[in-house]
Amino acid sequence: MPSNEPTRFADLLAQCERSAVHLEMRDVYAVDKEKGPFAEWQAGFRHDPADRASWWRPWLDLVAETVSRGVVIRRARIVSEPVSDYIRYEHSGTFTNTEAGEQVRWLPRRRASDLALPGNDFWLFDDRLVRWNHFAGDGSSQGPEHTTDPSAVKLCGEAFEAVWGRGVPHDLYEIR
């Protein structure tokens, strides 16, 4: 990665001028099964859309600020059906992302079989910088990697747009 590129995610979004897209392709990400938001959700907790103060968090501030500058933030999730409990959890809380201004679509994995997809989840900023998200088999983060390689940027841009074109908008996607 060029040394003049920021490495902190907040800095990447702060320098973004037009678009930030995120492709997620895992059915489970590392979660603490004993405590934390996922465990609370499994125990029956659900965010109350009317009580914004209870669920608004720094990530949503960052999204809202970025969107207010005219940057379009889109997230696409490729999911296996029937979905995992973790995807049910993500789906139930995604209204917070959309409230902040993020656009989200869901694509059943069976509808992605003929798409050329990169091997890892990623963010693509302004069609010029890719931030790969590397994960271990248990879903734990193995850290990011950045590239401005034109072939990687092209692959990620085309993959994202293909998934986005087939994806179902969040408010229309029904969990199976």
Mean pLDDT along residues 128-137 = 94
pTM equals 0.93
Buried b (16+ CB within 10 A) or exposed e, 21-47: bbbbbbbbbebeeeeeebeebeeeeeb
Percent of the chain with pLDDT over 90: 80
Tell me, yes or no, whether 56 lies in a domain. yes
Mean pLDDT along residues 75-84 = 98
| 146 closest CA partner among 157, 125, 132, 126 | 132
**Given this model, what pLDDT does residue 112 score?**
98
What are the tokens at 44?
């029956």
Strand order in 168-169's β-sheet?
Answer: 141-147, 129-135, 121-125, 19-24, 72-79, 103-108, 168-169
Tell me, yes or no, whether 135 lies in a domain. yes
Tell me, yes or no, whether 4 lies in a domain. no
144 DSSP 8-state letter: E
Tell me, yes or no, whether 94 lies in a domain. yes
What are the tokens at 164?
């986005």
Tell me, yes or no, whether 3 lies in a domain. no
Task: Go through the chain and tell me how many residues it has.
Answer: 176
CB distance 87 to 131 below 8 Å: no
CA 142 to chain centroid, in Å, comes to 16
CATH number at residue 141: 3.30.870.10
Q: Which domain holds residue 45?
A: 9-172
Percent of the chain with pLDDT over 70: 94
In terms of Cβ atoms closer than 10 Å to its own Cβ (0-12, 13-18, 19+), residue 49 is: exposed
pLDDT digits (tens, 9 = 90+) for 32-52: 666 788 889 999 999 999 998
Number of domains within the chain: 1
